Each structure stands twice: as structure tokens, then as C-alpha cells.
Amino acid sequence: MTNSFDKAIEMMSEAGTVAIFMHVNPDPDCVGSALALCLFLRKKGKKAFVFTPDTRTTHMIPEKIKFLPHFDLLNKCNEVIFDLSIAVDLGETGRIGDFALPLFYKGERSLVIDHHETFSDFAEYTVRDEKASSTAEILTQLLFQYDESAIDKDIACNLYAGLVTDCGNFFYECTSKKTFEVAASLIEFGIDITDITRRLTKDIDYNVYKLKIKVLSEARFFFDNKMAVIVFRKKDFMDTATNEKDTDGIINEVQNISGVLLSVSIAEVGTDRYKISFRSKGSVSAKECAEYFGGGGHFNASGCRLSGAFDDVLNRLVSVGKSRLQYV
Ligand SMILES: [Mn+2]
């Protein structure tokens, strides 16, 4: 932890109007953290609002997240300037969204609460803990310090949603003693952890199931099966009535194979444009792979974007995989 909560709490205490922002391709950690923080600040008497990356719609948010308590408060705001802007779960302006960024700067003061290893400071003050499993894990501790009595069941549910998703249901290496302690403190509020966990980490749509079996049946393996690559082509999305958002988590199915140390997912998102995800085990760094191509993320889970002809993109990824796997 590089920062204490004191300054962030002071900034929130002094603000009357607060705008909260999430990252593009919203996930349960940024949506849950943003909603929890908004609900909490409203209980503290603030005028608090949450904006999606396009500031108008929720269509980029996966359906399965929409059960979160008070999801309908997103983008409902009649203020034009704010005492304080807060970005949660993102450390770079590039991830806040082109429409949200100018609004973020309408805040007289600015704050970031984040746990990503890749960042560029862009706010007046940043609370960052790269060791935390999730932004929700950091935020829960911050809110307990700020005013435990203002935390309620709906706030706890939103926070738990972020935490349980980002730590992979207490499985990823980012899971620590603190993760369990924070989870335990949220369970005290009587939330239904089985329901939250099932909705966010287990349930899949039938269409996504069809996409999944198609893509997995065509998985490619390299270097004595130490590296796995799955590919989502435009046609796969069309054939199964799915889209890029539905690729989430499918990479874990190949990463779960014994002996696979590095997995790569290639999703075609436009003409000769690809969204790449990496997952790694042990000493193999997914983060280094992503950073090589200008992306970033965590040690074992990262991503980047690549352009070019498909065969070229595949070859570049395989050669980076080769360079990371040759000494293991
Ligand atoms: Mn997160």
C-alpha cells in the first residue's frame, strides 16, 4: 500500500457533489465499487452520481452484472460540475472512456482508487494497492475506516460482487489473507454469497455455451502443450449470436489444463483488429507478454490490442510465448 486512506477520506468529506467513474468494458469490480461508493456517499449526505464510460447508456455492461443493487442509478445526474471526481478500478486516463474523461475533469478535485499494476497518475490523489485482489477490497477497508455505520447490505453486496469476481472466487494468486478478512467483514451484512458468486462466476447463457464449445474445440497448442491459444473470429460471434463481451473467462478453460503455463485468447473485434488476453501460471509473466505489445495488467492476467493480418498476429503471439517459455 503506497497511500493511506486519510487523504482520500478527507477529500470525500469535504465534497458536496461527487461524480464516480468506471473503466471501459465494465466488470463487476468497477461497477460494484462505483455503486457501493455512490450509495455510501449518499448516506453521508452527498450528492453522488455514477457514470458509465459513454456517460449515457449501460449497454456495454454485461447483462449478468445488472442485478447489482441500485444498478438503475447509473448515469442519472442533473449536475454539470462536481466538487470531486473519483475513478475506480482504473489507473490510466485511456481506460475511462472518451465521453467520461471530459466529465471527470469537471471535478474540482480528483481521486483514483485502483489496484492495477499498470498506471499513469492522472488525479490529484491516488489510493493504489497493487497487492489487493480488487478495487472492492481496497474500497471496503476505506469505507470501514470512513464510517462503518454507513455501510449497509446493498453496499456490501456491491463490494462483495467486485471482490469475488476479481479474485476468481478466492482462487487467483491475488487472493490474500486480507481478501478473506474483507470478504468476512462483508458477509456480516447478511448478503447471499452463493447467489452473488453463481451469478457472476458460474452462470453462462446458452449462446455463450455454444460459443465456448466451438472455440475450445479448435484450441491450438504449442511447445509441448505449455502454450494454448483460442481464437474468436467474427463468424463465431455471428453464428452463436454473441459478441466480444461474451469471451470473458473462456480462456480459463484452456488455462486449467495441466501443463499449460501460458494461454492466449485472440478476439477479432474489427477488420484486422484483435483484442488479446493472456493468462499465465507460476513464473511465466502474462504481464510481460502484454507489455511487449503496449498493453498491461496483472502478473498472471493481462491484455493488449493488436492489428494486422490474422496469421501475422498469431505468429507474433506465439513467438512472444516461445521467448517466455523457453527457460521453464
Ligand atoms: Mn479490478
Centroid of ligand 1 to alpha carbon of 36 (angstroms): 14
Centroid of ligand 1 to alpha carbon of 216 (angstroms): 26
Model pLDDT, residue 117: 83
Provide φ and ψ at 36, rounded to 5°: -60, -45
Centroid of ligand 1 to alpha carbon of 283 (angstroms): 22
Model pLDDT, residue 327: 78
Provide φ and ψ at 208, rounded to 5°: -70, -35
Burial code (b: 16+ CB inside 10 Å, e: under 16) for 255-272 equals: beeeebbbbbbbbbeeee
Could you read off the pLDDT tens digit of each residue along the chain, which spans 328 residues?
A: 445 899 999 999 999 999 999 999 999 999 999 999 999 999 999 999 999 999 999 999 988 999 999 999 999 998 989 999 999 999 888 899 999 999 999 999 999 999 998 788 889 999 999 999 999 999 999 999 999 999 999 999 999 999 999 999 999 889 999 999 999 999 999 999 999 999 999 998 999 999 999 999 999 999 999 999 999 999 999 999 999 988 988 999 999 999 999 999 999 999 999 999 999 999 999 999 999 999 998 899 999 999 999 999 999 999 999 999 987 8
Centroid of ligand 1 to alpha carbon of 223 (angstroms): 31
Centroid of ligand 1 to alpha carbon of 60 (angstroms): 17
Model pLDDT, residue 3: 54
The CATH superfamily of 6-202 is inorganic pyrophosphatase (n-terminal core) (3.90.1640.10)
The gap between the terminal CA atoms of the chain, to the nearest Å, is 31
CATH 3.90.1640.10 in the chain, residue ranges: 6-202
Looking at domain 208-325, which CATH architecture does it have? Roll (3.10)
Centroid of ligand 1 to alpha carbon of 239 (angstroms): 31
Centroid of ligand 1 to alpha carbon of 33 (angstroms): 9
CATH 3.10.310.30 in the chain, residue ranges: 208-325
Centroid of ligand 1 to alpha carbon of 165 (angstroms): 8
Cα–Cα distance measured from residue 204 to residue 10, given in angstroms and rounded to the nearest whole number = 42
Centroid of ligand 1 to alpha carbon of 268 (angstroms): 24
Q: Please report the sign of the dihedral spanned by the C-alpha atoms of residue 313, residue 315, residue 317, residue 319.
A: negative
Planar angle of CA 214, 325, 249, nearest 5 degrees: 35
